[in-house]
């Protein structure tokens, strides 16, 4: 099951990370403030449900929406 980038985007098709209340897993400053090593999520895509067409990627400096040129990226998932 993919991990929700933000709890508000939970459509029951993704998992909200433990302790995640109002922050984005795809956004490096949020990761740092919650003890998530940015180097472990850099380049990864996170689920956004109906919030946008596609996923959102953690670039290591900021986050960006996936586009038609993105291929073969990694998506963070968990056992549900």
Burial zone of 4 (CB within 10 Å; 0-12 exposed, 13-18 middle, 19+ buried): buried
pLDDT on residue 79: 83
pLDDT digits (tens, 9 = 90+) for 20-34: 999 999 999 999 999
- Give the integer Cα–Cα distance in Å for 80 and 32: 25
pLDDT on residue 80: 62
Kindly give the confidence (pLDDT) of every residue in the chain, 80 residues in length, as a single tens digit, with 9 standing for 90 and above: 999 999 999 999 999 988 899 999 999 999 999 999 999 999 999 999 887 778 999 999 999 999 989 999 999 899 86
pLDDT on residue 52: 76
Count the helices and strands in the chain (H runs, E runs). Answer: 2, 3
């Amino acid at each position: 099951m993919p991990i929700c980038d933000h709890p508000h985007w939970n459509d029951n098709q993704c998992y909200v990370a433990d302790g995640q209340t109002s922050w984005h897993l795809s956004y490096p400053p949020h990761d740092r403030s919650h003890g998530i090593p940015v180097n472990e999520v850099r380049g990864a895509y996170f689920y956004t449900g109906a919030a946008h067409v596609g996923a959102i990627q953690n670039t290591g400096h900021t986050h960006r929406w996936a586009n038609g040129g993105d291929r073969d990226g990694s998506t963070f998932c968990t056992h549900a």
